[in-house]
Structure 1
Amino acid sequence: MMKKYWYTMILAGSLIAVKGGTLISQGAGLENLLNQNGKPELLSEAEPAAIASPLSSSAENDAGNEGDSQFSIPRLPGQSTDSDQETVFSESSSSDLETPEEETGAQDRTEVPADDPVSGAATSTSPAETVSETPSAPIDFSSTLFIGDSRTEGLKEYGGLNEAEFFANSGMSTFNLLSASLTLKDGSKKTLEELLSERSYERIYLMLGINELGYPSSTVIRQYSAIVDRIQALQPNARLVLEANLHVTKKKSDSDPTYGNGKLNALNNAIYQIAVDKGCGYVDVNGLFDDGQGNLDSKYSVDNAHIMGKYYTIWAQWLRTQHV
């Protein structure tokens, strides 16, 4: 009986000793996971991220992750708004993840063009800016006829359009155009109807009107329209381009209302309407030489009505780009 008692006492003592050792072991392990503030330490990258608790209160998040938002993942639509449901990742578990804020930032970044001529800083370009149209080749005027008055004669003399044919002189108007006989590039002398009947042109430019401003406007417009009809009848395959008349300077416009820019603008508007009605092209060069107030800039002219010779090449180069 006594032997059985001692056996029982020895077994009980062994169990108590084992239990106590286990508790000591568990207590030591827990102590190692606590820092001096009693909070779990962040795990190093060498330790498994799964050991860290995936949950913490929002207060702990604010204290531990202030200014370090890469550890916090915002809630998805419909996710619980309870503070204890916000997921927090350790450095090791979040290193390969991007938050939605980071993704948005990545989308907003722009590549720095290698040849940025201004500052080399990042520039933002829209899709429309990155897809540029190929410029059209300059127009070849080798099969082109220019018809006009002294302004067109200036293009002939100074514009460098040597491949083109010209039928122009000072004083030319819609009223004397069909009766005039002029010397051409090849030395022959012809009327406009003879020229248009004998040769074929791909493009024909017409600039007339300023010498007719002393006539009633309705008469001028009717005559101009009749000239367009005649040219189209003789050259049905040619592209006829009507040109707006060049402005005069403010000095000329104010001193001589007959040739003022107000009347020129009214005539140019009528010519534009003829172009629309008859299927012609239309160009207006005034934007190159105006002073910003609708007058020929005096710095381009010495007589207040024509541009100086050196500027006709600019006009000619501009015409080569007008695919109308």
Structure 2
Amino acid sequence: MDPLSDILTILKPRRLETGATDVGGDLSIRFAPHEGLYCYAVLEGECWLTLEDGATPLRIKAGDCVLLPSGRPFRICSKQGLTSVDAAVFFAGRSNGEVVIYEKGGTCFVCAAHFGFDTPDSSLLLGMLPPVVHINDQTDQTAMRWALDRMMAELRTPRAGSDLLVEHLSHLILIQALRQHLTARDGTRVGWLSALADPPVAAVIAALHAKPADRWSVEAMAKIAGMSRTVFALRFKASVGTSPMEYLTRWRMMLAADALRLPHRTIASAAGAVGYDSDSAFSTAFKRIMGCSPRKYHARMSGEHPV
């Protein structure tokens, strides 16, 4: 598989809830800190999104999509300076998939999907993404526009099979948003997702994902990138936000953790699958990245004691 598919397979995104808001007047909604990832798409009109960390407000308009992987509190409003209502209060009593109409609607239509992840270690990968991933309508988005239009139609007029269709559309929109983020090259972006748009770095990441158990060195990676060791190491860290060997170690531990969720997997087999001959060295690396020993992780996640 390609690296993006690899990462999404490890994360195992699942839609927790989907809904839409059809706004007809001035409105500001505050969302508390959250687990997982929010995906917002403006289908009609425009609105503003602000993270509560002093970041510059972001204007999002029809055709734009925003991913919020950081878990930080944020506000969505029709215009800046409004007093916000808490999201838990505004959406109280609504059912999953429902369209909430405010002041008769018609000014701005926003749909949202909240994704959880079946791995408890998703922050290791989500934490390497920008706080906000903004995909605007300037990118080639035929597939995105089709998915958003279908989502709006299914939410506004539910029919037989709508719940399942919205589930699949949510995943399509998430993947398409990540794809479009890759094609919108911006040298100021840092993280594994943006790095996949940097050809030399992307080639190395693909090689690491294809053969995680190989005895990798920075020199071997630099050869794939077609650069000197020093230039490659600097380029990789500037693009990904971490060193090549640290990225490899994190990826190996994510793969090992995924394996250790299965009751029948042993620690030795998980270690060997990601290139560790020594259980001791593997345990040290695993505990540093995952925060606990592989034995404790296996017992907790598999529900059984490790062999």
TM-score using structure 2 length: 0.23
Higher relative contact order (CA 8 A, sep 6+): 2
Q: Higher Cα Rg: structure 1 or 2?
A: 1
Comparing both structures, which one devotes a greater share of its residues to strand?
Answer: 2
TM-score using structure 1 length: 0.22
